[in-house]
Structure 1
Amino acid sequence: MSYVFTPAPAATVPVVGSDALFPVHRIYCVGRNYAEHAKEMGHSGREAPFFFMKPADTVLVVTEGTTGEMPYPTLTKDLHHEIELVVALGKGGKNIKAADAAAHIFGYAVGLDMTRRDLQAEAKKLGRPWDIAKGFDFSAPITPIVPADKAGDVNNAAIWLNVNGAKRQASEVTQLIWNIAETIEALSQAWELQAGDLIFSGTPEGVAAVSKGDVLEGGVAGLPALKVKLV
């Protein structure tokens, strides 16, 4: 078989303690999955989980101990940070039960769901898709993936983000409205999940705008910290 042009290399994320790379299939993101964040976005209550996606090649890998550089995106004057626990699937499936979800998880990472908030607000007002607000280049900075058996108790871990050394977001993964197992169950009812899928599980309260030159540093207890500078 030949191609009409050389295909782009697969998007990959390093694995902590291994030379192997994790090939990214799809990136699923859970919207408004912390109660306090839902409130700051004008919503409340435990609504049914809903999802949006980012292209696989929006990942911006930042290794531990380094500062990744993310270009400030075009078309926006209101870029927001959203720190998240990322779940990496090592096995796919359809209609996965929450009780069986752990068997499908390869590992965990820390990610940022960067958002062009002004474009998202305009899309919401017009009833249009969010792709331009969520799926732009480099919009998914991520740490290397820690295998599940080395990641500790992520379901009870602290999650946090500082901007230029000042606290912006601080919560616990226990505050997820839909926990990781429930999220996998709901996602697998809508899509056949695949090995290589990444799930950005939601962000806690404290999201706000950042500017060119700002340094974002965040993490989930037990996982490598993520540090990104906007350039």
Structure 2
Amino acid sequence: MAAVLLSLVVVGLVSLAVINREEISQLSTTFDALKRHQDMSTSVDALEHDQDDMRKLSNNVDALKCNLEKERSRTNGLEQRLREIETCPKGYTMRREICYKAYNTESTFNEAAVTWREDGGTLAMPRDDETNAFLMSLYKSVHDKAFFWFGLRDQREEGNWEWVDGSALGMYNSWAPGQPNNYGDNEDCAYYSRYPSLEDTWAAADCKNRLRFICQVVPGTSYNRTIS
């Protein structure tokens, strides 16, 4: 009898063990399924987050494109303005951001002022040796033997030579020996001399004389001086 009971107990324990293993296996399977579901949910959340980031990035790219287009438009406008500013009037030659022209037309000093005012400039002002040399080469290309007015005078006060923009003559000059001598008390305007003994130097003459002349223009700047 005891043997029979022991056998029944053993069979019951074996059955219980089998049932526990099945339950454990089912629980493990369920846990694995839940874990996969959780992983999928995490992946979906990450994907949705990435999509939000992509939408934000796309919006930023569109904004950058809009700003770039505005900058291009502004740059084109500035470049156009710069071209307008840097362009010399017809027939002028640029040097150091100033445009110059030697006119092959004879005029009094005051008549020449009409021309340079129409061009928006002044008579040329050679304030240094390099500019002076450039102006000489410029007028020689127009007429090698002619005299040319440039923008220096003492019309306001005898002996007080000033440029036509109202500034003082300063330290630099290229007067010929003995010039200016105010011969006849009426030599108040400066010109480039072509006399053999005074060639390529400055001299003074009556402003009513009719000589050729050299104008200068600063692009984008207009002068409205009155020659008195």
After TM superposition, the score normalised by the length of structure 1 is 0.24
Relative contact order higher in (CA < 8 Å, ≥ 6 apart): 1
Which structure's residues are more often strand, by fraction?
1
Which structure's residues are more often helix, by fraction?
2
After TM superposition, the score normalised by the length of structure 2 is 0.24
Flag the structure with larger Rg: 2
